[in-house]
């Protein structure tokens, strides 16, 4: 086997998970919440189970709300055993206004309401 085939075989066997980024407050670390749907053992109702994984993000590209793919790696710290592979879908930023719109809103005159 060539070196390229060996590295491809190593990466093919690693676990991958897809989840949502819930925190980016640590340096080069993201917290990814992975949700899976499993039937309840007794009642057979579908239940959402969640688990948080700490993953290494070297370039700090992931933001809160992004859907990302993480891959298993060697232990990097006490909690980090995963590494960011790629960002699948970016989060939509709500409430961010254009700077030009903010200045025009400030210059508007406010109407006064007369009290009776």
Q: Which pair of tokens denotes residue 41?
A: 């053992």
Per-residue pLDDT band at 94 (split at 50, 70, 90): confident
Query: Residue 10 pLDDT more than 80?
Result: no
Place of tokens 């980016």: 24
Query: Residue 73 pLDDT more than 80?
Result: yes
Distance, in Å, from the CA atom of 39 to the CA atom of 36, rounded to the nearest integer, reads 10
Domain 3-107 class, CATH top level: mainly beta
Ramachandran angles phi, psi of 115, nearest 5°: -90, 140
Burial of 41 (0-12, 13-18, 19+ CB in 10 A): exposed
Cβ–Cβ < 8 Å for 69, 42: no
Residues in the chain: 116
Distance, in Å, from the CA atom of 70 to the CA atom of 53, rounded to the nearest integer, reads 9
Q: Where are the beta strands (DSSP E) in the chain?
A: 16-26, 29-39, 46-56, 67-72, 82-89
Query: Residue 99 pLDDT more than 80?
Result: no
Q: What is the pTM of this model?
A: 0.71
């Amino acid at each position: 086997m060539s070196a390229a085939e060996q590295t491809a075989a190593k990466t093919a066997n690693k676990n991958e998970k897809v989840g949502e980024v819930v925190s980016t407050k640590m340096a080069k670390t993201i917290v990814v919440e992975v949700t899976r749907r499993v039937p309840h053992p007794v009642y057979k109702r579908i239940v959402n189970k969640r688990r948080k994984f700490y993953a290494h993000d070297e370039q700090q590209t992931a933001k809160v709300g992004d859907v990302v793919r993480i891959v298993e790696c060697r232990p990097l710290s006490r909690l980090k055993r995963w590494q960011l592979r790629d960002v699948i879908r970016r989060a939509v930023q709500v409430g961010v206004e254009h700077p030009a719109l903010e200045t025009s809103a400030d210059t508007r005159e406010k109407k006064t309401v007369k009290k009776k």
